[in-house]
Structure 1
Amino acid sequence: MGVKQQLGMGVTTAVLGLTLIGGGTFAYFSDSVETNNTFAAGTLDLSAEPTEIIDVDNLQPGDTMIRDFELQNNGSLDIDTVTLETDYTVIDAEGDNTHDFGEFIEVEFLYNADNLDEVIFETTLSEFQDMEPEAISEHVFYPELGDDGLPVDESHDLVVQFNFTSDDDVDMNQFQGEALELEWTFTATQTEGEEQ
């Protein structure tokens, strides 16, 4: 092989080597963008005003007490339904009662806050305590809230009348000095989820 051929082979080899090196470092144009994504859950916030609906003493059979209160949606999500659970404790003065004091406290939910002339639902505290919350909602809240529920920043007024009833066949003296502590728990549920 002549000198020219050797030089030609050397140059060809060098060019090939440079091509391979250059090919390894070649890059296409590129660009990137960053997105910021947030998932924030809404809030259900059902409030009652006032939180103490009734506080009376020195009751006697035949007494009637009317109280009104307001349920408020202070959250960021609409409320679909409201349910109510009733629980009470009787503080026995004598301890030898034959009847439950809650059987003689009648509860009437009233429809019209101005005239107080239409009873939506009526029962005793004893029966109320044994009812399913959904059944109470159907009788107490649905007539007013209906399918609309309680939208954000809206409120719903409720008027309730408590009656201390009596029964001629029951010795009412057994209830003298007794007390009944009533706890109502209102629970709100959300509306159906939707495409966002």
Structure 2
Amino acid sequence: MSFAKKVSKGVIMATLGLSLVSGGTYAYFSDSVVTQNTFASGTLDLEVNPNVVVDIENLKPGDEIYREFILENNGTLDINRVLLDTKFTVEDLKSDNTDDFAKHIKVTIMYNTSSATTPIVETTLYDLQTQQPDLTAIDEFVGNTTRPDGIPAGGKEKVFVLFEFVDNGEDQNQFQGDKLHVDWTFNAEQTEGTYYDDTE
């Protein structure tokens, strides 16, 4: 076979091979596996007991009202913090108020420890409406021990509240017969996201 025929045959074979690579089909072994994946979200379920903190009449300057209530985490996720929102309305019986009744109500919110209470908030009801305190934000405890803030899933925390109709030593007759309606909303927030790594 001449050299030209050999070259021509080689070019034809190469072209045929390229066409098989680009357009041909191959038989090969294969296998596949289907994995089952589930993403189930947890729940935040905050319960406050009792749900009526204060319902009292015939309040006068100098009176103090002490209450305690339980924050329960009945969900499956840890609660990072519980923020308190305050809204109130005043019923001015004689329409003679020159000051806001809520400015005369002092609120002290305390958190229970094993042997003492630690104040979280100490302010007037009027000022509390512009604040959003975390009712679980206690970092330092008696005996220099620490405990994380928040409420773990299935856990509960006891909170104490002291309301005082402050006697300022001045004429407070304008508040006689008035009513103060207070709504407290407890907003539970989750902890930070968790990184899950299944690799070994």
Normalised by the size of structure 2, how large is the TM-score? Answer: 0.73
Q: Say what the alpha-carbon RMSD is for the aligned residues.
A: 2.6
Q: Secondary structure at the match of 1:103?
A: helix
Q: Deviations over 1:124-166 (max 9, x none)?
A: 10111122x1xx22xx531269534210000000011111112
CA deviation vs aligned residue, 1:1-56 (integer Å, no higher than 9, x gap): xxxxxxxxxxxxxxxxxxxxxxxxx9766554433221111111111111111110
Residue in structure 1 matched with residue 43 of structure 2 by the alignment: 43
- For 2:117 and 2:34, locate their aligned partners in 1 and report how far apart those are by CA, in whole Å: 63
Query: Judging changes above 3 Å, is the alpha-carbon distance between structure 1 residues 183 and 44 closer, same or farther for their aligned structure 2 residues?
Result: same
Secondary structure at the residue paired with 2:195?
Answer: coil
- What is the SS of the residue equivalent to 1:174? helix
Number of residue pairs matched by the alignment: 167
Equivalent residues in 2 for 1:44-193 (5 A)? 44-112=44-112, 119-131=119-131, 133=132, 136-137=133-134, 140-143=135-138, 147-169=148-170, 171-193=171-193
How big is the shift at 1:83?
Answer: 1.1
* Contact 2:48–2:72 (8 Å) recurs in 1: yes
Higher helix share: 1
The 3 A distance-change label for structure 1 pair 195 and 116 is: closer
- Deviating beyond 6 angstroms after TM superposition, the runs of 4 or more aligned structure 1 residues are 113-117
Are the equivalent residues in 2 in contact too, given 1:110–1:159 (CA < 8 A)?
A: yes
Identical columns (%): 45
Query: TM-score of the superposition, structure 1-length normalised?
Result: 0.74
Q: CA deviation at 1:90?
A: 0.6
Q: Contact 2:112–2:158 (CA<8 Å) still a contact in 1? A: no
Q: Which has the larger radius of gyration?
A: 1
Corresponding residue number in structure 2 for 1:23? none
Where do 5+ consecutive residues of structure 2 fail to align?
1-25, 140-145
